[in-house]
Chains A and B, each alone.
Chain A
Amino acid sequence: AQKVTQAQTEISVVEKEDVTLDCVYETRDTTYYLFWYKQPPSGELVFLIRRNSFDEQNEISGRYSWNFQKSTSSFNFTITASQVVDSAVYFCALSGINDYKLSFGAGTTVTVRA
């Protein structure tokens, strides 16, 4: 069984602060994929990143960065210099390689105050 835990329910920051979202996962698969999705107040799910289990290289995309550590089964997400538009619910998700269904974490609500 696959499980994704996002222990932080809500995070509130002031604009320009950095915010790190934690994600811990459990899987018996040796090959798997990890994802982050953003859900703004409008409700759609926006894909942010996918990582393969065999690629532990960290990634940076603009103000976003991701830290994948297989040893601790974690895939954390950092928003640098947060902006009000970053306010959203962020979901971490995991899929195996059978039919690639996504198992989502409970989500972390990020509120960025001006």
Chain B
Amino acid sequence: EPEVTQTPSHQVTQMGQEVILRCVPISNHLYFYWYRQILGQKVEFLVSFYNNEISEKSEIFDDQFSVERPDGSNFTLKIRSTKLEDSAMYFCASMQDRGLSYEQYFGPGTRLTVT
């Protein structure tokens, strides 16, 4: 069964460093999402991406964040200058075209630790 994959599974970085979290969505999916979950808290929406552009972003997704689909298969989340409060689990999700399925398939997550 096709699945969303994410790399790395765990990333440790120092405050102020740039990080790139990588996701490979399911191949025929058209909608892509990033969510984050601070330890012990709920899952929060960050950004949605469709047709090579951001379709919606949350207040959390400020200028320090960016997303890209550089090669038609990967979907990346970049944090330009990490802060301690960026420590969280980051989940990528993808969804097939609307009208076919409204289910978002989640990757296993990347645990980001900022020290």
Contact = CB atoms under 8 A, between A and B. Distances in A.
A and B: partners? yes
A105 to B, nearest CB: 6
A44 B44 contact: no
A66 interface: no
Contacts of A103: 45
B81 interface: no
Given A98-B56, A99-B56, A100-B95, A44 B108 contact: yes
Contacts of A95: 102
Given A100-B98, A102-B35, A43 B108 contact: yes
A104 B43 contact: yes
Interface in A69-103: 91, 93, 95, 97-103
A44 B102 CA distance: 19
A105 B45 CA distance: 12
B43 A91 contact: yes
Interface string B21-45: 0000000000101010000011111
B89 interface: yes
Contacts, number: 56
What is the interface of chain B mostly: helix, strand, loop, or mixed?
Answer: strand
A100 B102 contact: yes
B11 to A, nearest CB: 14
Contact of B31 (A93, A100, A104): A100
25 contacts: A33-B102, A37-B106, A43-B108, A43-B111, A91-B42, A91-B43, A99-B31, A99-B48, A99-B55, A100-B31, A100-B102, A101-B33, A101-B45, A101-B48, A101-B56, A102-B35, A102-B43, A102-B93, A102-B104, A103-B45, A104-B42, A104-B43, A104-B44, A105-B42, A106-B41
